[in-house]
A and B are shown apart, each in its own frame.
Chain A
Amino acid sequence: MKDQHLVTLNVNGREHEVVLESRKTLADVLRQDLGLTGTHLGCEHGICGACTVLVDGEPVRSCLVFGVQADGREVRTVESLADGDELNDLQQAFSRHHGLQCGFCTPGFLMLGEAYLATDPAPDREEVREVVSANLCRCTGYQGIVDAVCEVAQLRREKSTHD
């Protein structure tokens, strides 16, 4: 007999009702039940951060959270960032600064970066290095990722001062 639960998730602004085994991870729910395969699994033990998504605005490792724990929460994934064909400022900055190569870890870094940028940080290279050291990338050597997050922190500050 399976241990099933009816769970309501708000993912990227859409409500989903899904029936889940209690041990199914949020990452597997997003990928398998909702078809949101932008969230990637790199280690399944909470170190690499490729599966980082936002739950109620906070970055979490979706490999370490059960789907049932997200019941009633708001989840944001990488698929929410672009507006139609238009990439958002952080996505554009990643491309401009070559912050991705194979692209596998990228969704996790983007969501980590979004969570950090939402705190309206003063752009500080050392702090950004510290923040992005939460996740692992094997291709880039991190420089483009750090550059991209720093630049967007600066641009968003300038924008909010002008607004």
Chain B
Amino acid sequence: MTPDPADPADPGERTKGQRWVGNRLPRREDARMLRGAGRFVDDIASPHAYHLAFVRSAVASGRITQVSVDEALAMSGVVAVLTSADLDHPHLTAVLERDEFVATAMPLLAHDRVRYAGEPVAVVVAESRYVAEDAAETVWCEIEETPAVLSLDDIDGDLPGIHDEAPDGVLVDLQMFSDAIDDVLAQAPLVLEETYRSGRVTAAPMESRACLADWRERDEQVVLEVSTQVPHQVRTGVAQSLGLPERRVRVIAPDVGGGFGQKCVVGREEVVAAALAVRLRHPVRWSEDRQENLIASFHGREQEYRVRAGFDDQGRLVGLDADIRCNIGAYSAYPFSCGVEPLMAATELPGLYKVKRYAARARGFATNKPPTAPYRGVSRPQIVLVMELLMDKAARRLGIDRVEIRRRNTIQADEFPYLGPNAITYEPGSYVEALDRCVEEVEKAGWWERRDEDDGLLRGVGIANFSERTAYGTATMGMRKMAMTPGFEVSHVRMDASGDVVVTSGTCGHGQGHETTFAQIVADRLGISPDRIKLRQGDTDLTSFGWGTFGSRSLVIGGGSAAVAARGLAEQLRQVAAEILEADPADIDLVDGHAEVRGTPDTWLSIDEIAATVHFRSHTLTQREDQLLEARGSADPPGMFSNAAHAALVEVDPGTGDARVVDYIVVEDCGVVVNPTIVDGQVRGGVAQGIASALYEEMSYSPEGQPLTGTFMDYLMPTASEIPSIAVHHLETPCDQTETGAKGMGEGGTIGAPAAIVSALNDALRDSGADIDFVPVRPGDLLRVLEGTADKAPRKESA
């Protein structure tokens, strides 16, 4: 939507020297989405494309003895049915270059063993999806079933590892820090020994995964249009898996219907589609159905934390020791590996709390469940849950107010930059300020009065305060020792002869509004309207190599590189204008679509005139060394901490155990806010996902490893009735690592919500001595607390 300059109420209202950053500019993406004119993979017409359907294992664990495809091959409309052997056993293998990591191959199609129910064993190629699915049903897989390893409890037993390379089931085992932790804990007046668990969930973007692959002879390329967050990483995955040079693979992400991390890893089905397009020299497409997405894509968050936390008698945390176990499923997802959750958990557990002694061991265990991918927040929802529930419990035990105990332990404003025991340096944030502001907003909203209403419902208030590292650059990612280390971004900014601008980025927006916010950033540097700036991303042939969109990095690193490039282009515009206007380039201001000489505003040139001169009349210029108006910029900050305080008001019906979040407050600090509307939206959507994993969602399995949550009837994604209004307040501590002053903010909402909600539930059920230490918390769990029958031992996992 174009801002209307005539309308004073229009958020796009222009004033002289308009700065666009900070505006609630309506999103550039909206019009096409609202008209149904978005272009998602499935919307791309390819009338003669073959359709793929995958034959998936019906059992969780076993040895494949035979795959019979004859009946399928005989069906009308079936083009081919292939197994792993037909494709020469291609695989994807994620690697961490560290001794504590065991690399395991993920075959594109299972060949000797199946490792989870839903794992692809064969692929049917047919003329329509209807026929492909019919044929897939006739493929007979003979599998000798073996006992399934499903839970961390199974791992405590004697079941063998599911990969020969890792007989004990441990794919990664990191002991991050060790010092005199036992001595410190032995002397602490209060030591809490706790176990926290979080259930397995899935990102469930509304658009399931999808791809369309086509071999283009003229370009000597397979073109893979795919619903992904990371086009270049998909290109590398396809190239490595199929043994092709990267130029022979072009990956295009058109509009992507949500990802949340599930699409920041490479799916084996996507690589199979590319392989088949190359082999058959014919377009093929695959559209994952919802059942496949739920039971056979990527999951996350199935973790257990055994912690010992020592406090002094003033409630100060003096020592923290954690044994962290992550159920990472059957394979290391490519390229991030199964190290993502354990490494994040061990490195960042202390969060914004000061602790002198810290030790952690974090392990990833392979099980007969789908592999895990980095789901929005990656271990931070769990570590914040752990730290906040520890604070609540220490406060209760020591008789200290639960806000006060947090304040005492938090890194204070005058302590930045703060070096933590985890060897992380925290640059300035508003940790105490956010907490205090949040408490103030809770009071203003009258929650304490509501909490004490006597109407039969039990009410509780929960508070969580946290920081989260965002926008991990190469320096920080390098510590993980991934064989492929993400971090930097490169942008090009190019002005055409009409004065409009195209910006490229290796990031890949899928709902975050990059087309709007990148335009705002570039507009401020060029002095033109964001309407004249178009972001192009999501195409490996159109942009420089880049890492994609994940880890709250895009606006910071991609937007940062665009800002640097725009600054370079602005300098070029100033030089040309200076020559034509016979002025010093340093005296040229770019403002409102003009280049004008500072102090003499009547001496100016329009940007359009400059653009036309450079393109069409360069013979009139004497001082141009380079032709054209284009500049390149890069950015690679180490990574910076955003912070937020969350508060939840919950109601529990003591008769049914039904819990509802009825009000929610967020005070967040992501540095300079480029577009407050978009930040609000990211926070609210994130909180909704946090509420989902705190109260509703869990992937459940039978003891044999059969998935029990294969539809949206069983996997309870919340609706508008379960998500309250969420108030969002902004604090701004500008970041000095970035050109824009912005910090990342794509995940914070999801990170804070589970802690705030469980804290609120324990408060609501305080009279029953509630001490809930797991998510999701279901009505039955609350009834057991109310009846006094809650087992103090950790809840038995749902297999």
Contact = CB atoms under 8 A, between A and B. Distances in A.
Contacts, number: 173
Given A94-B34, A104-B258, A133-B720, A141 B687 contact: yes
B512 A146 contact: no
Interface string A77-105: 11101100001000110111010111111
B712 A48 contact: yes
A110 to B, nearest CB: 7
Residue among A36, A42, A81 having the largest count of chain B Cβ atoms under 10 Å = A42
Given A94-B30, A100-B30, A102-B257, A144 B681 contact: yes
Interface residues of B, number: 59
A106 B618 CA distance: 47
Given A40-B40, A95-B26, 7 more contacts: A38-B38, A82-B34, A87-B1, A103-B255, A106-B34, A138-B258, A140-B685
A142 B723 contact: yes
Contact of B36 (A77, A139, A144, A146): A77
Contacts of B1: 87, 92, 95
14 contacts: A23-B130, A37-B40, A40-B257, A44-B290, A48-B712, A91-B35, A103-B38, A104-B255, A134-B719, A135-B719, A136-B717, A138-B258, A141-B685, A142-B688
Interface in B238-277: 255-258, 260
Nearest to A39: B36
Contacts of B719: 132-136, 142
Contacts of A145: 720
A43 B711 contact: yes
Interface string A5-44: 0000000000000000101100000010001111111111
Interface string A46-78: 011010000000000000000000000000011
B42 interface: yes
B725 A87 contact: no
B34 A95 contact: yes
Contacts of B720: 129-130, 132-133, 142, 145-146
A98 B677 contact: yes
B132 to A, nearest CB: 14
A143 interface: yes
Given A40-B40, A43-B290, A143-B726, A138 B260 contact: yes
Contacts of A136: 206, 712, 717, 719
A95 B45 contact: no
Interface in B709-732: 711-713, 717, 719-723, 725-726
Given A43-B290, A98-B27, A140 B684 contact: yes
A27 B77 CA distance: 22
A159 interface: no
List the 7 shortest-distance A-B pairs measured between CB atoms, nearest first: A38-B36, A103-B33, A104-B257, A102-B511, A101-B511, A141-B688, A133-B719
A95 B257 contact: no
Contacts of A92: 1
Interface string B553-575: 00000000000000000000000
Interface in B112-135: 130
Contacts of A31: 42-43
A117 B439 CA distance: 39
Contacts of B256: 102
Contact of B26 (A40, A45, A96): A96
Contacts of B204: 138
A103 B29 contact: yes
Contacts of A95: 1, 26-27, 30-31, 34
Nearest to B722: A133
Contact of B35 (A40, A50, A78): A78
A29 B775 CA distance: 42
B107 interface: no
Contacts of B29: 103
B34 A102 contact: no
B520 to A, nearest CB: 15
B680 interface: yes
A134 B30 CA distance: 22
A38 B40 CA distance: 10
